[in-house]
Structure 1
Amino acid sequence: MPSRSGLFLMLPPLVALILFGLLPLMVVVNWSFWTWDPVTYWIKPDFSVAAYGEILQAGRWSVIVATLFKAALTAIICLLLAYPAAYAVHFLGSKRWGPLLLGLMTIPFFTSYLIRAFSWRLVLGRTGVINTLLQESGLTHAPIDWLLFSDFAVIVGLIASYLPFATFPLLLSMRRVDQTVLAAAEDLGAGFWRRFFTILLPLTRSGLFAGFLFVFVMVCGSSTEVQMLGGAGASIVTVMINDVMRVANYPLAFAISTVVLVVIFALVLIGNRLFGLAALFEDRSA
């Protein structure tokens, strides 16, 4: 049970969380059940589920499903790339080179997200770096069109943007692993892969899911990579919400946001249940 002074210290961040985190979300969920009043050009508190019914129209539901699929796929690929990166920083990097390797991962954030997304056009385009190298080496005789303005290009851009968000939680979870356990397993004859699958991977599962969740949430809220690399017909939840807001259909926009919010909240509950997400933030100093 926290002491009175501890409760007093917890009060400011708790109030900030409620005011700037929970309250806006509660307003969005509440307004998703309101109706649009064409007279006042605003929403009014008449309970209705019409906005949720509209999600099933005009292909909106397919956009939500496609967004969730892109977010999950991007998160999984990021984890496959982030795990060896975090392992190299923590176990292979020295105290001098570890922070440097970690700092290098943040280099993409030194510039605008628009520039980062647009730069992939110069890499994946018909006259981009990859097509030029493939044609000059004789591997292809014409540019590969699907490299740009495709789901492939969108996934590449999303991975490049959000890979660090999968790496940092994994690194944090690895630093919480007792090194003596790995050393003892090695002394008992366990090879690298046996130590990895029986010790390291289970002990870092909270970091795995945290990395997955961070990337998943970031992708669900992104739009630049889709608009810059996906072509004119590409869409994602955020783009769809912007389009709906332009025609002032606010209840529908709030309903779409609520559906995504419910999915993310369910993921958090499942992750905490199956992967021990809360264990990543436990104090093990005692």
Structure 2
Amino acid sequence: MAKRGLDAEAKQGLTLIAPPFLYALAVLAAPVLTILTYSFLKDGYLEVIAEFTWSNYVQVFTDPIVRTVMLRSLFVSGLVTLATVVLAFPVAYYVSFMVRPERKSMWLFLITIPFWTSYLIRVFLWKVILGYNGVINSTLTGLGIIDQPLTFILYNVNAMVLTLAHAYAPFAILPIFVALEKIDRSLLEAGRDLGESRAMTFWRVTLPLAMPGVIAATLIVFIPTIGDYVTPEVIGGGKIPMIANLIQVQMLALDNRPLGSALAVTAMLIVAVVSVVFLFLNRRFLKVRP
């Protein structure tokens, strides 16, 4: 009877998860498999030739332009991730440890305000702020600090990093805050009772226990920023393309879907490898299981 009850519960559970599972399979797996299939086909004149080939991947790994763009994408995404997480941790720490419990919901509400506007609008606002006749240049010129508007604050990597770090800051703050909230405060008090300073207590207790949130924030920021298309196009002025821009050119402008698919698959694999290496280093050197 007990076995029958378990079988009935298992069937009921499968029935419940089947619709979302099939939906996720259709929405996520089907496009990935389609891209993977295209990456092994040949590109013909205004058509795709259904013939297996490795030439697309050979071109991806041997073309110096692709290599340069991929390395730039990794570098920019790494800078954005580092800046975002480093700036997000103090904010999350302040809200978790310094703000009174009844006011934390208000702070979280304020942190999520950027989500009220479209990501594209936020990117264009940064272009307005950093532009030749933008807010910064107009202010500095009006105060007499500079005679001519600055031209180096837009259309460069620094502007892209600043824009992406601002856009993804809430994605980093929230998981770190959740991890900090789960820390048992009695552990911190025990460390202080044993003679540890606040800095050492933070280093030996708070930071290791908060690492799951830091890891989540790192991956949440790193993975989408490496494939960002809008910011390099708007803030970079199209002069500093990243891998997503290169994929767009191959897919739409040149109509070379096999090569564009190979670029997309390669980018996904590189991101997966970098993420796994980061998780391994975290477990190896920080002795924390994410």
SS in 1 for 2:93: helix
Residue 91 of structure 1 pairs with residue 59 of structure 2:
no
Residue 51 of structure 1 pairs with residue 42 of structure 2:
no
In 2, Cα distance between the equivalents of 1:153 and 1:174? 31
1:149: how far off? 1.5
- Change over 3 Å in CA distance of 1:188–1:136 after alignment to 2: farther
Query: Given the alignment, which residue of 186, 199, 212 partners 2:205?
Result: 199
Query: Given the alignment, which residue of 160, 170, 177 partners 1:164?
Result: 170
Residue 126 of structure 1 pairs with residue 129 of structure 2:
no
Residue 264 of structure 1 pairs with residue 271 of structure 2:
yes
Give the aligned residue type for 2:43.
W
In 1, Cα distance between the equivalents of 2:181 and 2:122? 30
In 2, Cα distance between the equivalents of 1:114 and 1:217? 18
Q: Identity rate of aligned residues, in percent?
A: 27
**TM-score if structure 1 supplies the norm length?**
0.87
* Cα shift readout 1:140-194 (whole Å, capped 9, x = no counterpart): 3332211111111111111111111111221122122222211211222322211
Query: Given the alignment, which residue of 218, 221, 226 partners 1:215?
Result: 221
Show the counterpart of 1:185.
191
Show the counterpart of 2:154.
148
* Cα shift readout 1:96-116 (whole Å, capped 9, x = no counterpart): 221111121222221222221
In 1, Cα distance between the equivalents of 2:195 and 2:143? 47
Structure 1: gaps (5+ residues) = 281-286
Structure 2: gaps (5+ residues) = 1-5
Residue 255 of structure 1 pairs with residue 262 of structure 2:
yes
Moved more, 9-18 or 63-72: 9-18
In 2, Cα distance between the equivalents of 1:58 and 1:266? 21
In the alignment of these two chains, the number of paired residues is 275
SS in 2 for 1:36: strand
* Cα shift readout 1:176-230 (whole Å, capped 9, x = no counterpart): 2222211211222322211111111111222212111111112123221111111
Q: Is the 2:232–2:238 contact (alpha carbons within 8 Å) kept by the matching residues of 1?
A: no
Matches within 5 A, 1:91-110: 91-110=97-116
**TM-score if structure 2 supplies the norm length?**
0.86
* Cα RMSD after superposing both structures: 2.3
In 1, Cα distance between the equivalents of 2:80 and 2:101? 31
Moved more, 208-217 or 46-55: 46-55
* Cα shift readout 1:228-252 (whole Å, capped 9, x = no counterpart): 1112422112111111112210111
